[in-house]
Amino acid sequence: MKSTFYSVGRALRWSVTLSRKFIYVVPWFTLLAVISSIFTQFFMLAGFLLPLKVILLLGSESVPSYFPSSFQVFGRDGLVLILSLASVCFYLAHLLTGKVVDFASDRACKTLLSRSKKLTIFENQQEIASKGYARYSQNLATIGFVSLCLLVLAWLYYEVAIVIVAYVMSCVILSCVVSAFSNSFYYKLSSDLGAVSKLLGSCGFLLSFSYIVLDHLLGSPSGILVSVVALLLTRQTFGRLAGFAKDIQGVYEQKAQLRALFFHGHTFSQEPASRNKGIWHLVDPMARDAWVEEVLVDILDTDAFKAEIEWLDIGLPDIICFYVDVTTGSARLQYVMKLFNNNRSAWAKHEATLLSSQSSLPTVPLVKLSLVEGVHCHVFEVTGLKQCGKKETTKQSDSFRMMLMSTKPDSSIISLYERSHPMLWQRIEKQSIIHMRYLLDKLANQEDIDCFLFKLNDMKEKLRCLPLAINTLDIRPGMMWKNSRGEHFLVNWTKWVVEPIGAKISVPFLSEPEFFDSAKDVSSKRSDAKGVEPEQIKFSALMSEFETRLQRGRYVEADALISKILLHLNDD
């Protein structure tokens, strides 16, 4: 419970610190923004309430008795007109005060940034500062608005005000207590506070509504008009409180950025969020030994084993690998266990989709897909395999990709990929090539570029007609393994793609004798690739490299490929 209250205390202390800064530097703009925000919310509430009154009037033949007696003099039609005009006026006032809030926030941010005297620290600096200040002023306005709502309710219908206050206090206390004893609830509260507070706010509104209904059925309530107003104020109160919790969390999550922007003596320094949660608590030796043992028991169906664990470097951020050497009875087995951090769950699912759907891949055998305390864990068996060194991995990467092209992609994999990602022939845009021509001007052969643009549609069609192949964008040292026969396998498939056969092969490899042998081998092993010549594969590789260079802004290098591409196109 201590850590929960400590987290809440930190957020509140940061809010107070921010308040002092804003009130000291821009007191009048802050006051204007807060007061305007409160009026904006009340004008919106009035603009919403009055049309309901108009509808009630239209459904009656005269002014209902639950309206104040002073309204009777206007008559039904006159009162309808007055309330309709008032609704329009309140709505316009809501828009006007909203503009005042925007003006005050913008001027306050500019003043704060000029006083802090900082260089540009990160992208969208002005936008981040404006949103941070707007959230802060909105929080103060919410406090004022909710307080006024409760005062009005206490005057009109004090029992409902008591229900609201008691419910909110109960929710705060229970949330702190439950999160102190339940890690899952604590993480849910931390990661999705907006959804939790919205749910609790909806439950609070239903509780208040139920009380009003029961009071009308069993008690001696105030008039129907008071109940309608109380219900609207209750709805607005819980809605604003739910937004308040989310905004407080949002301001606190931007603490490092806002402190660097608004405080003169602070620089921007933020530890990556992934270092504080996700997989990193599972790296602790005691925690690591515990979850590795659980996974092994699941795989081996016995707990009679001894495991030696060591970290394995595959060069990917937020993916932790462990090499596990297991001795059980007379057998000795080796595994690679990959833990994917929360921000890499898409990679985990991408890899799992391929390895569970595509057969005959040159992959280290995947033996288990698991979840360890909510994070993805993939287990590969490397018994009898040896990890390739950096030099061998670099040397074999293109040969491995060519070997991978010998595997025909499953139709389901192709269908999934084409529905999710643009293909190579769709990504090469004419406009990007025109921009390149403008930039290079006399540095480029303009005739070649014009010819390339003229034949671009034909080239795209040639790419589209080539057989598709699975490929991997990322082969780093530590990812490749080999058996005693010298066959190579991959232990990482997080960045696989489906491209025309030949794509992603490096340009230098196209001149190697091994390329032509591999191309012929691909053509002979795949029934859908029979008749595909090495020149067609080379053309695909050159177009893929051209697209990569163009996307990365390496225009001189992209232009250098155009003549080679045209040459292979003409040869074809």
Label the pairing between strands 319-328 and 488-490.
Answer: unpaired
200-258 pLDDT per residue, tens: 888 888 888 888 888 888 777 667 777 777 887 888 888 878 777 776 666 666 665 66
Which residue is listed with tokens 């850590």? Answer: 3
Residues facing 406 on adjacent strands:
none
**What is the residue-wise DSSP string for 400-452?**
HHHHHTTSPPPHHHHHHHHHHS--HHHH--HHHHHHHHHHHGGGS-HHHHHHH
Distance CA 351, CA 341 (A): 14
Q: Is 320 within 8 Å of 339 (Cβ atoms)?
A: yes
Size of the chain in residues: 572
How far is the CA of 479 from the CAs of 339, 364, 366, 394, in angstroms?
Answer: 15, 10, 14, 11
Q: Is 300 within 8 Å of 328 (Cβ atoms)?
A: yes
Q: What pLDDT score was predicted for residue 128?
A: 66
Model pTM score: 0.64
Q: What pLDDT score was predicted for residue 2?
A: 43
| pLDDT per residue of the chain (572 residues) written in tens, 0 to 9 | 444 555 556 666 766 676 676 777 777 877 887 788 788 877 877 777 777 777 767 766 666 665 666 666 666 677 778 778 888 888 888 888 888 887 887 777 777 666 655 555 555 666 666 666 777 777 777 778 788 888 888 888 888 888 888 888 888 888 777 777 776 777 776 666 777 778 888 888 888 888 888 888 877 766 777 777 788 788 888 887 877 777 666 666 666 566 666 655 444 455 554 444 578 888 888 989 999 999 999 998 888 889 999 999 998 888 999 999 999 887 899 999 999 998 898 999 999 999 998 888 999 999 999 998 889 999 999 999 999 999 999 889 999 999 899 888 998 899 989 988 999 999 999 999 999 999 998 888 888 999 999 999 999 999 999 999 999 988 999 999 999 999 999 999 999 999 999 999 999 998 888 888 888 888 888 888 888 888 999 999 999 999 999 999 999 999 999 998 998 776 55
Label the pairing between strands 480-482 and 488-490.
Answer: antiparallel
Label the pairing between strands 331-340 and 319-328.
Answer: antiparallel
Distance CA 338, CA 453 (A): 45
How far is the CA of 363 from the CAs of 286, 326, 349, 428, 486, in angstroms?
Answer: 31, 21, 16, 31, 14
Residues facing 470 on adjacent strands:
498
Q: What pLDDT score was predicted for residue 266?
A: 47
Q: What pLDDT score was predicted for residue 308?
A: 92
Question: Which residues have a Cβ under 8 Å from the Cβ of 123 and sit 6 or more positions away?
Answer: none
Which residue is listed with tokens 């055998």? Answer: 365
State the maximum Cα–Cα separation within the chain, in Å, rounded to a whole number.
101
Which residue is listed with tokens 């002014």? Answer: 63
Q: Copy the structure tokens of residue 54.
A: 């108009």
Q: Which secondary-structure segment (H or E) carries 257?
A: helix 255-262
Q: Is 12 within 8 Å of 18 (Cβ atoms)?
A: no
Q: Which secondary-structure segment (H or E) carries 38?
A: helix 27-58
Q: What pLDDT score was predicted for residue 56?
A: 67
Question: Which residues have a Cβ under 8 Å from the Cβ of 234 and sit 6 or more positions away?
Answer: 153, 160, 164, 205, 208, 209
